[in-house]
């Protein structure tokens, strides 16, 4: 199965900061990658699909980039409601997998 490694596993940032989370795949997955946001006690929410396409209704401060094995989720200006855990997920292979998650905390 394809492994996804997210970094960092956690970070502290302030409102207004630019935040970047990376996701590395153990083998090439083209652009078959999604990003999710999960807040405590809630189901995850789709943010980005096909590596860089913004899901309807998601604020434009979220963006995704990358292809092959290296991917990035960027939040251009962190807002109070963005403090959450973020997961990448690949759907290139027969077996789907998630990254380990990145927790974004308030500095």
Partner 1 sequence: EVQLVQSGAEVKKPGESLKISCKGSGYSFTSYWIGWVRQMPGKGLEWMGIIYPGDSDTRYSPSFQGQVTISADKSISTAYLQWSSLKASDTAMYYCVRGDDAFDIWGQGTMVTVSS
CA distance 72 to 70: 7
Cα separation, 87 vs 69, whole angstroms: 16
**Listed ranges 19-27, 62-70, 74-82, 94-102: which one lies at the site for partner 1 (CB under 8 A):** 94-102
User: What token pair was written down for 33?
Assistant: 């990658």
CB of 18 vs partner 1, minimal distance in Å: 24
| Residue 37 or 78 having the CB closest to partner 1 | 37
E strand map for 26-69: 33-38, 45-49, 53-54, 62-67
Scan residues 27-46 and list those touching partner 1 (CB under 8 A). Answer: 32, 34, 36, 38, 43-46
Residues near partner 1 (CB under 8 A): 1, 32, 34, 36, 38, 43-46, 49-50, 55, 87, 89, 91, 94-101
């Amino acid at each position: 199965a394809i492994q996804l490694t997210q970094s960092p596993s956690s970070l502290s940032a302030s409102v207004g900061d630019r935040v970047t989370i990376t996701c590395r795949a153990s083998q090439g997955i083209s652009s078959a990658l999604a990003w999710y946001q999960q807040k405590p006690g809630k189901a995850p929410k789709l943010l980005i699909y096909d590596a860089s396409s913004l899901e309807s209704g998601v604020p434009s401060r979220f963006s995704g980039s990358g292809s092959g094995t290296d991917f990035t989720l960027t939040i251009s200006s962190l807002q109070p409601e963005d403090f959450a855990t973020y997961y990448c997920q690949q759907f290139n292979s027969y077996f789907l997998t998630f990254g380990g998650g990145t927790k974004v905390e308030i500095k």
